[in-house]
Amino acid sequence: MIPLQPGALAFTPEGTPCSGRYGDVYHTRHGGPEQARHVFLGGNDLPERWRGRERFVILETGFGLGLNFLATWACWQADANACRVLHYVSVEKHPLPREDLARAQALWPEFAPLAEALRKQWPLLVPGIHRIPLAEGRLVLTLVFGDAVHVLRRLMLAADAFYLDGFAPEKNPDLWSPEICHALARLAAPGATLATWSVAGALRRALAANEFDLEKRPGFAEKRQMLAGRYRSRKPARYALPAAATRQAIIIGAGVAGSSAAAALAARGWRVTVLERRAAPGEGASGNLAGVMRPLPSADDNFLARLTRAGFLAASRHLAALAAAGLPVRWGQVGALHLARDAAQEAAQARTAQALGFPAEFLQYLNATASSHLLDFPVPRGGWYFPQGGWVMPRALCTANLLASSAITFMPATPVGAIRRGGQGWEALDDDGKPVATAPHLVLAGGVDAPRFAPLAWLPQRSARGQVSWLPADQAPPLRLLVCGKGYVTPPVDGVQVAGASFRLEDENPFETLEEHQENLQKLEDLLPGFTGRINARLLQGRVGFRPMSPDRLPIVGPVPDPAAPRRRHMPKQAGLWCLQGFGSRGIVWSALMADLLASQMHGDPLPLSSDLVRAVAPERFLIRHRLQPESTLAPDVETADAE
Query: Which pLDDT does position 625 carry in this prediction?
Result: 62
CB atoms within 10 A of CB 633: 12
Kindly list the distances between the CA atom of residue 402 and the CA atoms of 260, 317, 406, 574, 610, in Å, as whole numbers in the listed order: 8, 17, 9, 27, 28
**Percent of the chain with pLDDT strictly greater than 70:** 96
Q: In this structure, are 449 and 348 located in the same domain?
A: no
Q: Is residue 76 part of a domain?
A: yes
The last residue of one of the domains, among 548, 568, 586, is 548
- Cα separation, 541 vs 513, whole angstroms: 10
Q: In this structure, are 443 and 571 located in the same domain?
A: yes
The backbone torsions φ and ψ at residue 591, rounded to the nearest 5 degrees and listed phi first, read -55, -55
- Cα separation, 175 vs 25, whole angstroms: 16
Name the least confident of 8-12, 293-297, 381-385, 624-628: 624-628
- Cα separation, 206 vs 622, whole angstroms: 39
Name the least confident of 302-306, 346-350, 397-401, 503-507: 503-507
The last residue of one of the domains, among 495, 527, 548, is 548
CB atoms within 10 A of CB 280: 14
Which residues does residue 489 pair with via DSSP β-bridges, in sequence order? Answer: 483, 499
Q: Is residue 332 part of a domain?
A: no
Query: Which pLDDT does position 238 carry in this prediction?
Result: 86
- Cα separation, 296 vs 304, whole angstroms: 7
Mean pLDDT of 321-326: 97
Do 119 and 101 form a contact (C-beta atoms < 8 A)?
Answer: yes
Query: Which pLDDT does position 153 carry in this prediction?
Result: 94
Q: In this structure, are 226 and 361 located in the same domain?
A: no
Query: In the predicted model, is pLDDT for residue 637 greater than 50?
Result: no
Do 331 and 493 form a contact (C-beta atoms < 8 A)?
Answer: no
- Cα separation, 537 vs 540, whole angstroms: 5
Query: In the predicted model, is pLDDT for residue 556 greater than 50?
Result: yes
- Cα separation, 55 vs 241, whole angstroms: 8
Identity at 42, one-letter amino acid code? G
Query: In the predicted model, is pLDDT for residue 454 greater than 60?
Result: yes
Q: Is residue 301 part of a domain?
A: no
Query: In the predicted model, is pLDDT for residue 571 greater than 90?
Result: no
Q: How confident is the model at residue 444 (pLDDT cuts 50, 70, 90)?
A: very high
Q: In this structure, are 454 and 482 located in the same domain?
A: no
Q: Is 178 helix (H, G, I), strand (E, B) or coil?
A: helix
Q: Identify which of 479, 482, 480, 486 has the alpha carbon closest to the alpha carbon of residue 346.
A: 486
Query: Which pLDDT does position 635 carry in this prediction?
Result: 41
Q: In this structure, are 503 and 453 located in the same domain?
A: no
- Cα separation, 367 vs 350, whole angstroms: 9
Q: In this structure, are 143 and 213 located in the same domain?
A: yes
Q: How confident is the model at residue 30 (pLDDT cuts 50, 70, 90)?
A: low
Query: In the predicted model, is pLDDT for residue 218 greater than 60?
Result: yes
Query: Which pLDDT does position 3 carry in this prediction?
Result: 85
- Cα separation, 74 vs 402, whole angstroms: 33
Identity at 243, one-letter amino acid code? A
Which residues does residue 444 pair with via DSSP β-bridges, in sequence order? Answer: 252, 579
The last residue of one of the domains, among 513, 548, 583, is 548
Q: Identify which of 264, 243, 400, 252 has the alpha carbon closest to the alpha carbon of residue 324.
A: 400
Name which residue leads in pLDDT, 521 or 423: 521
Q: In this structure, are 52 and 85 located in the same domain?
A: yes
**Percent of the chain with pLDDT strictly greater than 90:** 85
Q: Supply the DSSP symbol for 493.
A: B
Domain that holds residue 493: 337-390+462-548
| DSSP element (H, E) containing 345 | helix 343-356
Query: Which pLDDT does position 478 carry in this prediction?
Result: 86
Query: In the predicted model, is pLDDT for residue 626 greater than 60?
Result: no
Q: Is residue 561 part of a domain?
A: yes
Query: In the predicted model, is pLDDT for residue 628 greater than 50?
Result: no
Q: Is residue 23 part of a domain?
A: yes
Query: Which pLDDT does position 236 carry in this prediction?
Result: 85
Rg over alpha carbons for the chain, rounded to the nearest Å, is 26
Q: Is residue 52 part of a domain?
A: yes
Find all residues with CB under 8 Å of 306, minimum gap 6, and list them: 128, 613
Query: Which pLDDT does position 443 carry in this prediction?
Result: 98
- Cα separation, 599 vs 75, whole angstroms: 28
Q: Identify which of 588, 581, 589 has the alpha carbon closest to the alpha carbon of residue 552.
A: 581
Alpha helices in 403-548 (DSSP H): 514-527
Identity at 363, one-letter amino acid code? L
Do 482 and 389 form a contact (C-beta atoms < 8 A)?
Answer: yes
Do 559 and 607 form a contact (C-beta atoms < 8 A)?
Answer: no
pTM above 0.75, yes or no: yes
CB atoms within 10 A of CB 342: 12
Find all residues with CB under 8 Å of 440, minimum gap 6, and list them: 246, 248, 249, 424, 425, 426, 576
Query: What's the number of domains the chain is made of?
Result: 3
Mean pLDDT of 214-227: 92
Query: Which pLDDT does position 627 carry in this prediction?
Result: 40
- Cα separation, 88 vs 72, whole angstroms: 9
- Cα separation, 639 vs 417, whole angstroms: 34
- Cα separation, 567 vs 483, whole angstroms: 43
Do 548 and 581 form a contact (C-beta atoms < 8 A)?
Answer: yes
Query: Which pLDDT does position 169 carry in this prediction?
Result: 84
Q: How confident is the model at residue 566 (pLDDT cuts 50, 70, 90)?
A: confident
Sign of CA dihedral 497, 328, 442, 627: negative
Name which residue leads in pLDDT, 32 or 441: 441
Q: Residue 215 sits in a domain of what CATH number?
A: 3.40.50.150
Query: In the predicted model, is pLDDT for residue 514 greater than 50?
Result: yes
Do 426 and 449 form a contact (C-beta atoms < 8 A)?
Answer: no
Q: Which of 164-168, 194-198, 504-508 has the highest mean pLDDT?
A: 194-198
Query: Which pLDDT does position 14 carry in this prediction?
Result: 85
Q: Identify which of 273, 274, 362, 265 has the alpha carbon closest to the alpha carbon of residue 313.
A: 362
Q: How confident is the model at residue 42 (pLDDT cuts 50, 70, 90)?
A: very high
- Cα separation, 138 vs 84, whole angstroms: 7
Q: How confident is the model at residue 1 (pLDDT cuts 50, 70, 90)?
A: low
Name which residue leads in pLDDT, 14 or 499: 499
Q: Residue 524 sits in a domain of what CATH number?
A: 3.30.9.10
Q: In this structure, are 611 and 570 located in the same domain?
A: yes
CB atoms within 10 A of CB 636: 17
Q: Is residue 240 part of a domain?
A: no
Q: In this structure, are 113 and 55 located in the same domain?
A: yes
Name the least confident of 16-20, 269-273, 506-510, 551-555: 16-20
Q: In this structure, are 431 and 575 located in the same domain?
A: yes
Q: In this structure, are 96 and 149 located in the same domain?
A: yes
Q: Residue 250 sits in a domain of what CATH number?
A: 3.50.50.60
Query: Which pLDDT does position 643 carry in this prediction?
Result: 40
- Cα separation, 108 vs 33, whole angstroms: 8
- Cα separation, 24 vs 22, whole angstroms: 5
Name which residue leads in pLDDT, 490 or 25: 490
Query: Which pLDDT does position 641 carry in this prediction?
Result: 41
Q: In this structure, are 140 and 257 located in the same domain?
A: no
Q: Is residue 331 part of a domain?
A: no
In tens, the pLDDT along 75-131 reads 999 999 999 999 999 999 999 999 999 999 999 999 999 999 999 999 999 999 999
Query: In the predicted model, is pLDDT for residue 422 greater than 80?
Result: yes
Query: Which pLDDT does position 642 carry in this prediction?
Result: 46
- Cα separation, 564 vs 561, whole angstroms: 9
